[in-house]
Structure 1
Amino acid sequence: MVRVDVLKASASFLCIAGGNAAAIKRQDVMATGTSLAKCPVKMADYDTKYRICPDTDFVGTSNQIIDGVADVDACAKKCAQTDGCEKAVFDTKGKVCHVKDTYNEATLLWKVNDQFTTIQVEATIDVAKQGSWTDIIRLPVIPVTAYIVPEFPEASRMLVFSSWGDTTFGGESGYTQFADYNFKTGATSALTVTNTHHDMFCPGISSLEDGRILITGGSDADKTSFYNPATNAFTEGPVMEIARGYQSQTTLSNGNVFTIGGSYSGGRGGKNGEVYDPATDAWTLLDDALVEPMLTTDHERIWREDNHGWLYGWSNESVFQAGPSKTQHWYGTTGDGSVKEAGVRDTVDAMCASNVMYDALNGKIFSAGDAQDYDKSAAYTSAHITTIGEPGTASKVERVADMSYPRGFSNAVVLPDGTILITGGQRKSLVFTDTDGILTPELLDPQTKRWTKMAPEAVARNYHSESLLLPDGTVWSGGGGMCYVSTPGASDSGCDTSVNHADGQIFSPPYLFNADGSAARRPVITSLAETAVPVGGTLTVNVEGNPCVSFALVRIGTATHPINTDQRRIPLTGHKRAGGSTYDIALPEDSGKLLPGHYYVFALNKRGTPSMAKTVRITL
């Protein structure tokens, strides 16, 4: 791997005194349009309420546009005289004051631009109720797809990738740009993967029992690649029976992988299911695992209608398809395969909606948001919980409280305590835009069915974004954008690069804070007695510190777009041995609920604060 540094601003500053605010001019800094989470310089004050950051802009709706404003102080005064004004922008060249929309209700993207100076009330965030975000983490590529590298005793790295270009894609190329981000040290490196002859842009992705990551299709639509965490290397896999892009796939109860759909690339229509068997290293087409029942209705037709299925491996080598079609289905993966309708989730389709199995013991699947059509379609606020039981039986669907915001292209992560974090999305699904993006995440408690608004993210996360749970109980949220060009290596001069986000942020949920904002004390898993445990076996965990009352296994994620079929949570209790801090945890006996593969092991205290996770491998 070739080491590259995360983007840093190198700057010199010129201070100019005058008026009520001391202007601090920034020279030779980040490029215009660079997203910000905080001012790159020490902010000046207007009176005691407003903070001034030069050479930056809030991109988004203006409630008022006032011409002929003399200076920054005068613009700040206009904001102070306007009810509810918390943000304003002064155009230093045009002498125009923009009074912006309300802070938590609109997309206001903070970006570098030397024509403007921003004015804002410093946000008061109650981290114990709203959590907090890190500064923006710059990457060498747009993280369209991301996965956590399974490591022992605990994970420390995330691999992300785009296409043949760091921020560009277009047609088959035979190679992919990767970045390796160590979320413990902050180190970032870049790598071009060429040896598998595979442009992995927008693929299917799954983790296998042995820890390898299987990446299928995408721009090179019949190709497959393996990433092996033991060797930190990629190898070429067998081609699929059907070429696919934008398909989904899921690991099965027997360790095989099922995939279906994917008419984005490799031809359109007829993308029936097929299965990969690691034992034979071969794909088998399932002629009767028909794709047609799960198609949505889209104005762009079949190119979109079989994309991004919500697939959940389940008992007896079955797969439950929860969406995005309004009807739900059971797929069988033995013999020639099969498909059977399971129920109706809604009266509309929900392409690219967030979805996650948050309680695998009880067959609980959450889904929310998105839209009827993939693109140019108004997003929903609606949310549902689907409950499944024995394969082939009818699903049960409950409409729960709506989100505060409509969200197209949002992402969902289940936290160790069973709550669900929704990040990103936009009011109308519009590919390759940040239009009306929602910066404020929401947290759902599935027990109370109530939503809580969280601290706002700094960057819109829409099309080509993703999110992942990290082993410390925080959440990575990153990506968005990409530029289509006609051929690999062609210029992106005709593209709106302002919506390209080669970056991410990490969110610390409220459970990591005490009421006074200090760090909450965590349980501490000092060790696992074993690193590999069979389905139905006993996991022995040593816990110290804050009393532990429950445990959770969360399967280590692999995400592209809103799809993370590897992500699922197993809530567990442990039997504490007398006179010590050792717990024995009986694991589920059904490998459809506890899929083979690598999991985070979390210990949780009474208030739901999780430990740092250790890694365990679940075997058949």
Structure 2
Amino acid sequence: MAYRTSISVYLFHALLFTTFANSASVAISRSGWTATADSFQSGNEPAKALYANAASFWHSQYSPTPVGPLSHWIVVDMRAVYNINAISIQLRPSDSANGRIGGHRIEVSTDNSTWQITAVGKYNNDATTKKTVFVTRPARFVRITATSEAQGANNQWTAIAEVNISQETSAYAPPAPGKGSWEKTVEFPLIPAAVSLLTDRKVLMWSAFAKDNFGGQKGFTQTGIYDPGTAESSQLNVSNTQHDMFCPGILLDFNGNVVVTGGSNVAKTSIYDLSSDVWSGAANMKIARGYQASATCSDGRIFTIGGEWSGGSGDKNGEIYNPTTNTCTTGAGIRLDDGHAMNGNAVMYDAPAGKILTAGGAPDYEDSDARTNAYIITIDAPKTNPTVTKTQNMAYARGFAFGVALPDGTVLVLDEQAHVKPFRDDTAVFVPEPSDPVTGTWTKLNPHVIPRNYHSVAILLSDATIFHGGGGLCGPCTQYGGVPESNHLDAEIFVPPYLLNSDRTRRMRPIISTVAASVRLGASLSVTTGGAVAKFSMRRIPLTMEGSGRSYTVSIPGDPGVALPGYWLLFAIDSNGTPSVGKFIKVTV
């Protein structure tokens, strides 16, 4: 792809998790449970985290000094194997913030020897109960590791007042083979309502003026960067551009900078430069808008069209931003009699052939039944009308859905609601469906567990897995007719079937050993690999190749409207359809 485009005593009886809807979850009795830890302070033993009293808590050793540095861990032994899918961690009482967990890792095991990671991430620095939800796994032991303290790096201790673990109430069935795997939950200090993959493989994400709420034109945005390699995430309040970047247009320019237009501050433009790690402002748009579409053109200018609500309704014709002169001009992309359309998605999956998959959507923004319809739009020669062909319907009706173009040429469509209703998780769809454009058919894959509806995101990571996160962003949700349980400060990582063996272990993957960092339009690119491969792909562009064994040459299209100058992910794909980890290359003019 060319990347343009949020107490003193607690008695826990039956704790019911309502943050997800495709399975029931009830707290397990802690009778007979035991706990161990890497260290503890006398009077704050690990068992104190199981006392049903938040005034007593486990605390890692803090005296005498010097104390052992982070990481600190606690292991809970439930004395029997349960099919667990949620963990609740109550931090120490709010009269002291010492030992609050920031960075963390949650693992499960049936034997206290072999461990599976179920969740990683970073908690906010507050006294709220932390609830982590993940795909059901059999486990007897749960290990919670604190990798940082929420107040700051100088604090090398950890405290937990209560640990509760919940189980699936229905019969457990392992994920079906050949249907992919939801590997882990990743937790953030904000709701990732917008994301962009950066050229260093990290994910830039943001919410709005608040980490879990939106509204008004506040002039600042809560942002963060997630590193899939380390599972670390950072947080930054961006205020220098006076731009609340809630529900904007997003794209990458030729140099890999993230360009963000409109949203709550309806005419603003902000640009994130990865090389300097700096946000800066650019020229305001001529037409105020939010929820719009934007794209980088083949000459480096930026085209924006559409939008709704932000800046008023209607008259959202196109405009062009010139990054060289830092100016915006209107008159591009007049919408003529195009009617009101929403909630669907469209994904270009084959750029040379001009193929676009569009699927789902609903007639209205809320309280409206979604559709299963799917179509292929083909853009042919310039100044000719596109053709539209109906393809097989999806198995599930979806509004607010996402489509992700995958390295193998298929398009994965994920979620959202069968009956669209912002800020609620009713009628959530949990089963993703990939579309095979060759056969025109859809396939149902293994379901995830956390609803992803309004204000959620999905994006391909450089290792060919899927980041699927967010949802909600309504704070207490009292003024929107929603519920606060629709706020999801997390993501789930999906491992597609092309990366898995039949027993759900990871396949051996092809390796791109060497490749140039850049290539000109229309030129050839030499690639060496760790072994024989069947084809190469720049995700939306299947590449012509020559060679064999470990040495290949691929041809880059010469049309800048197809191989758009800028950064692309190059994948090598073997005869089993398994892609390599993607390598970023820059296509230049």
- Shorter-chain TM band: 0.7 to 0.9
How do 1:15-414 and structure 2 match up within 5 A? Answer: 34=131, 36-38=133-135, 42=139, 118-127=168-177, 129-151=178-200, 156-286=201-331, 289-296=333-340, 351-414=342-405
Q: TM-score, normalised by structure 2?
A: 0.73
* Residue in 2 that maps onto 1:570: 541
1:592 paired residue number = 561
SS at match of 1:171: coil
Aligned residues: 460
CA distance in 1: counterparts of 2:274 and 2:576, whole angstroms: 34
- The 1:189/1:368 distance shift into structure 2, 3 A limit, reads same
SS in 1 for 2:536: strand
Letter in 2 for 1:223: K
Quote the offset at 1:435 in angstroms: 0.7
Instruction: Answer yes or no: is the 8 Å Cα contact 1:131–1:507 preserved in 2.
Output: yes
Quick one: distance in 2 between partners of 1:525 and 1:179? 30
Amino acid at match of 2:483: D
- Structure 1 residue 508 and structure 2 residue 495: aligned? yes
Q: Which amino acid aligns with 2:330?
A: L
- Tell me the residue number matched to 1:544: 530
Aligned equivalents of 1:359, 1:452: Cα separation in 2: 20
1:423 pairs, out of 393, 396, 414, with: 414
Deviations 1:1-33 (CA, angstroms, capped at 9, x unpaired): xxxxxxx9998869699xxx9xx9997799679
- Deviation, structure 1 residue 42: 3.8
Q: Which runs of 5+ in 2 are unaligned?
A: 1-70, 93-126, 142-161
What residue identity is the alignment partner of 2:196?
A: Y
Counterpart CA distance in 1 for 2:407 and 2:423 is 32
Please state how far the C-alpha of 1:581 moved relative to its aligned partner: 2.2
CA RMSD for the aligned pairs? Answer: 3.0
Query: What letter matches 1:293 in structure 2?
Result: D
Structure 1 residue aligned with 2:484:
497
| Secondary structure in structure 1 of the residue aligned to 2:169 | strand
For residues 545 and 433 of structure 2, the distance between their equivalents in structure 1, rounded to whole angstroms, comes to 30
- The yes-or-no answer on 1:583 pairing with 2:518 is no
Q: Is the 8 A contact 1:14 1:25 kept in 2?
A: no
Distance 1:293 1:536 in 2: 38
Is the Cα–Cα contact under 8 Å of residues 88 and 132 in structure 2 kept in the other structure? no
Q: Which 5+ residue runs of structure 1 have no aligned equivalent?
A: 1-7, 45-111, 297-349, 555-568
- Is 1:11–1:26's contact at 8 Å kept on the other side of the alignment? no
CA pair 143-519 structure 1, distance change in 2 beyond 3 A: same
1:43–1:422 distance in 2 versus 1, CA, 3 Å: farther
CA distance in 1, matches of 2:557, 2:475: 46
How far 1:293 sits from its partner (Å)? 2.9
My pick for the range that moved more, 469-478 or 260-269, is 260-269
Q: How many angstroms apart in 1 are the aligned matches of 2:481 and 2:343?
A: 26
Question: 1:341: which partner in 2?
Answer: none
- The offset of 1:291, in angstroms, is 3.0
Report the Cα distance in structure 2 between the residues aligned to 1:581 and 1:362, rounded to whole angstroms.
29
| Maintained 8 Å contact 2:424/2:482 | no
Secondary structure of the residue aligned to 1:219 is: coil
Which residue type is aligned with residue 419 of structure 2? K
Q: Which amino acid aligns with 2:176?
A: D
Does structure 2 conserve the Cα–Cα contact (< 8 Å) formed by 1:170 and 1:485?
no
- Helix, strand or coil for the counterpart of 2:209? coil
Provide the C-alpha distance between the structure 2 equivalents of 1:421 and 1:237, rounded to a whole number of angstroms.
34
Please give the per-residue CA displacement for 1:372-424, whole angstroms capped at 9, x wherever unaligned.
11221100111111111112212111111111111111111111001111111
Distance 2:223 2:74 in 1: 29
Counterpart residue type for residue 457 of structure 2: E
Structure 2 SS opposite 1:523: coil
- In structure 1, give the amino acid aligned to 2:536: F
* Corresponding residue SS for 1:121: coil
Deviation per CA, 1:267-307: give whole Å up to 9, x if none.
Answer: 33222211011221211111x632343332xxxxxxxxxxx
Residues 446-505 of structure 1: per-residue CA shift (max 9 Å, x gap):
11122111111111111111111111111111111011689xxxx989962110011101
Residue matched to 2:438 = 447
In the alignment, the residues of structure 2 paired with residue 115 and residue 178 of structure 1 have an alpha-carbon distance, to the nearest angstrom, of 31
- The secondary structure found in structure 2 opposite 1:356 is strand
Identity of aligned residues (%): 38
Aligned-partner Cα distance in 2 for 1:135–1:514: 18
Please give the secondary structure, in 2, of the residue aligned with 1:293.
Answer: coil
Name the amino acid aligned to 2:543. L
